Amino acid sequence: MANIPGRANHMRIPKRPHLKLETGIWKEGIQFIAGVDEVGRGAWAGPVAAAAVVLPHRRPRWLRRRLGEVQDSKKLSSRKRDLLSELISTVATSVSVGFANPEEVDSLGLMAATRAAMSRAVSGLDVSPQYLLVDAVDLHLELKMSQESMYFGDSISLSIAAASIVAKVYRDRLMCELAKQYPGYGFSAHKGYGTREHRAAIMRLTPTPVHRRSFRPLAALLRSPRPMV
């Protein structure tokens, strides 16, 4: 099947993500559509995480009811994300998470590392997707399959919104584990993002191996003679 560009180009941002894009593609005989999203691009520490979610195509009305609370992960509380992530894993045909570690972010660049994480998430699915719906990133060079990328995809497509929740929950849990490995940096609170507390911890303790050394706030610190943790 050839790529069909622009399905979402003329859509307004809805109050809730929906299945209009997925339903249109399902009607063409395509069964496995993966929604793909990432989290952690702007963080100073930790990996970029991406998730791919394939929702079942046979019962869209049931799916809308079961996942009626699913939306952009940034609009949800931590507790609600945890509950919905478990529900998505139960309802979905397949769920997969992929990562790009801080060294890859530094060596490849942020966007290339993001595409790598997304590609790994898609490749880890238990089924072979026939179409991708991707939030704001073009994966044509990495994945030779029909796909569409769109801005605000996690507010438009239920599949992408589900992926945004799964990716956020997995990465947050990983950052809480890193907080135990590297105490004093507050990873469990800010999840590696550039808060005032995080900056103060870096200045006090120096960067760790899980910090992204190419990021501007850290690059200046690395030019100092202080040893890395």
Instruction: Say if residue 53 is in the same domain as residue 155.
Output: yes
pLDDT of residue 71: 96
Q: In CATH, what number is assigned to the domain containing residue 66? A: 3.30.420.10
Instruction: Say if residue 144 is in the same domain as residue 187.
Output: no
Instruction: Say if residue 98 is in the same domain as residue 47.
Output: yes
Report the 3 state secondary structure along 88-122: HHHHCCEEEEEEECHHHHHHHCHHHHHHHHHHHHH
Instruction: Say if residue 131 is in the same domain as residue 202.
Output: no
pLDDT tier at 1, thresholds 50, 70, 90: very low
Domain-embedded: residue 38:
yes
List helix spans (H) across 182-214.
187-190, 196-205
Would you say residue 224 has pLDDT above 70? no
pLDDT of residue 5: 45
Q: 151 is written with which tokens?
A: 């801005």
pLDDT of residue 12: 79
The per-residue pLDDT for range 12-62, each reduced to its tens digit, is 789 999 999 999 999 999 999 999 999 999 999 999 999 999 999 988 999
pLDDT tier at 9, thresholds 50, 70, 90: low
More confident residue, 84 or 11: 84
The per-residue pLDDT for range 159-186, each reduced to its tens digit, is 999 999 999 999 999 999 999 999 999 9
H or E element at residue 219: helix 216-222
pLDDT of residue 174: 98
Q: Residue for token digits 């890859």?
A: 104
Instruction: Say if residue 108 is in the same domain as residue 194.
Output: no
Euclidean distance between CA atoms 154 and 165, whole angstroms: 9
Euclidean distance between CA atoms 162 and 86, whole angstroms: 11
Helix/strand/coil for 34 = strand
Q: At what angle do helices 78-91 and 158-181 cross, to 10 degrees?
A: 120
Instruction: Say if residue 196 is in the same domain as residue 107.
Output: no
Instruction: Say if residue 202 is in the same domain as residue 146.
Output: no
Instruction: Say if residue 156 is in the same domain as residue 47.
Output: yes
The per-residue pLDDT for range 97-152, each reduced to its tens digit, is 999 999 999 999 999 999 999 999 999 999 999 999 999 999 999 999 999 999 99
Name the domain count of the chain: 2
Full domain range(s) for residue 185: 181-221
Euclidean distance between CA atoms 102 and 147, whole angstroms: 27
Instruction: Say if residue 33 is in the same domain as residue 142.
Output: yes
Instruction: Say if residue 70 is in the same domain as residue 156.
Output: yes
Q: Answer whether 118's CB lies under 8 Å from 134's CB.
A: yes
Half-sphere exposure of 128 (CA within 13 A, CB side): 4
Euclidean distance between CA atoms 221 and 45, whole angstroms: 14
Domain-embedded: residue 151:
yes
Amino acid at 185: Y
Instruction: Say if residue 56 is in the same domain as residue 160.
Output: yes
* Closest of 147, 220, 213, 191 to residue 46, by C-alpha: 191
Euclidean distance between CA atoms 55 and 89, whole angstroms: 10
pLDDT of residue 178: 98
